Amino acid sequence: MISLPFPLFLPTILLLLALLVYLFRRMEQVTSATAGLVVGGLALWLLGDSPANGLVRLLGTLVQVDMRAEVMSYDLLFHLTPNVAPILALTLLLTAMALLLSASVGQGRSFAPFALVLASGYALLLLLADAPISPELLLPGFLALLAALGVYILQAGQLGQILGPLRSLLPPLLAFPLFILASWHIDSLAINPQDSVAGAAAARFLALGLLLLLAPVPFHSAGPATAENAPPIAVALLTLLYQLATLTLLFRITTLYPFVAELSGQNLWLTAAGLVTAVWGGFAAVGSSHPGRLWSYAMLHDWGLILLMLAAPGDTSWSLVLFLFSLRVISVLAAAAGLAYLRDAAGSLNPARLRGAGRSAPWSTSAYVLGGLGLAGFPLSAGFTGHWAALQTVAENDWRVAAAVLLASGGVVVGFVRMIRILYDPQTPPSISSERLMRGLIAITAILIASGVAIAPQLLNGPIAWALMAFRG
C-alpha cells in the first residue's frame, strides 16, 4: 500500500495529469474532457467529509491518503484544514469547468496542461499553513509567480499578444514589497507591543498592499487588454482563480491582524476604490464595441460592487460577498462559453467578423449576452438578486453611492444592447457557419443554469452557508 499525505498527493496528481495531457496534447478534446472529469471528481471528493477523516483509501487498498498529515519543505509547512477545504474545492471546480468547456472549443493546446499546473500552484498556496514569516504575508509573492505562469495561458501561442497578459503581473509585484515592509513592522510589534508607530505603519502597508492586489481602477488595464485577444475561457479561469485567492487573503489578514482596519482607514479605501471601479466599468462599457473588452468592462463593474461590499459594515457583508462571487462565477462562465465559440468560429473577436454572427450561432450569442447582463444585475439574469441586495445594503449607508452604481449598471446594459445590434445585424450576411449541435447544447445548459439561479437564487443558500462556516473556521 502506498501512503501519501494530502498536501503531497493533490499537487502530485495535478502535475502528473498535466504531464499526460501535454504528452497527448494533439488529442485536445479528449485530454481536456478527461482532465476536467478527474479534477471535478477531486473537487467533489473534497466537498464530502473526507477532510474530517484521518485516512482515505483510493483504488481499493492501493493508495492511502492521510488527510491530516503535514508536509514540511524548505521551512514551509503545508496542511489541509477544514476552513481551507471549501476554497480548495471551489478552485478545483473552476478548473474542471474550464477544462470541460475547452473540450468543446479549443483554447490552444497549451491551455489544459498549464491550467492543471496553475491549479496545482493555487492548491499549494491555499495549503500553506506556516512559514518563517506569516504565510499570509508571503502569499502575494506566490500570486506573482502564478500570474507569470498565467501569461503563457493567455498568450495562447500568439506572437505579439503579450502586453495585456504581462500587465496582470503588476498588482502582485507592486503589492509584494509592501507586505515585506509590513512584516518587518509586525516583527517590531512583537518586540515592543506598545509601539504605535510600527502598528500604524504595518496597517497602512497591509491595507495598501491588499488594495493593489484587488486590482481596482486604475490597476485594471490587464483585463480589457487581455480579453481583447486571449481565449475567453482562459481569461475567465485566470480571473476567477486570482480573485478568489485575493478575497481569501483579504479575509485571513483582516482576521489575523484586526488592527489593519482600525488604523489604516481600509474601509474608506475600499469604498472609494469600489465606487470608482464600478462606475468606470459601467461607463467604459457604453463606448465599447469589441465583445471581449465589453465583457471585461462588465466584469470590472461587478468587481467594483464586490469591493464596495467588502467595506460594508455588519456581519452579513461576507455572506453577501460570497453570494455575489458565486453569481459572478456563473455569469462569467456563461459568457465565456458563448464568446469562446464565436471567437473560434470567426477566427478572432474582431467586431467586423462577428457582425450578424448571432443569426448563425443564436444559442452561443444568447449565452454571451445573458452572462454579460448578469454581471450588471439585469432582471432575469444570474446576477440580478445579488446586485439588488448589494445596492440596498449600499443605499442604507449612502444612497448617492448606490445611485452611481445603478447608473453604471445601466451603462453595461446599454453596451450589450449595442452589441446585440452588431451580433444580430440583419443587413450583413454572417461570416461564420451554423452552430453545431454539441455547442448549442452547451450554450443552452449555460443559459438554463444562469436563468435557474435568477429565478431561484435560494439554490445557492446551502453551499454558501457551508462555505461561509468553513471560511470562518
Output the CA–CA distances (angstroms, integers) from residue 59 to 64, 93, 98, 181, 350, in the order listed.
9, 22, 26, 48, 49
Question: How many angstroms separate the CA atoms of 238 and 115, rounded?
Answer: 9
Please, which pLDDT band fits residue 166 given cuts at 50, 70 and 90? confident
Tell me the C-alpha distance between 243 and 90, whole Å.
12
Cα–Cα distance between 266 and 260 in angstroms, integer?
A: 7
Task: Convert 72-81 to b/e letters by CB count within 10 Å (16 or more is b).
Answer: eeeebebbbe
CA–CA gap between residue 280 and residue 304 (Å, rounded):
9
User: How large is the average pLDDT for residues 40-62?
Assistant: 70
Distances (CA, A) of 373 to 143, 245, 283, 285, 370: 30, 25, 14, 11, 5
Q: So where are the chain's domains?
A: 1-132, 164-264, 274-473
pLDDT value for 189? 73
Percent of the chain as helix, strand, coil, to the nearest 5:
75, 5, 20
Q: Read off the pLDDT of residues 203-260 as tens digits, 9 standing for 90 and up.
A: 889 999 999 999 998 888 888 888 888 889 999 999 999 999 999 999 888 888 888 8
Q: Which amino acid is at 232?
A: P
Q: Contact, 308 vs 214, CB < 8 A?
A: no
Over residues 183-202, the pLDDT tens digits come to 888 877 777 777 677 778 88
How much is the pLDDT for 116?
94
Residue pair 79/71 in contact (Cβ under 8 Å)? The answer is yes
Residue 3, helix vs strand vs coil: strand
Average pLDDT over residues 21-40: 89
Neighbours of 157 (CB within 10 A): 10
Q: pTM of the full predicted structure?
A: 0.93
pLDDT at 98 over 90: yes
H or E element that contains 358: none
Phi, psi for 237 (deg, rounded to 5): -65, -50
pLDDT in tens, 361-393: 889 899 999 999 999 989 888 888 899 989 998
Please give the radius of gyration of the chain, using alpha carbons only, rounded to the nearest integer: 22
Q: How many residues can be counted in the chain?
A: 473
Q: What single letter denotes the amino acid at residue 192?
A: N
Percent of the chain with pLDDT over 70: 92
Which of 454, 378, 362, 363 has the alpha carbon at shortest distance from 416? 378
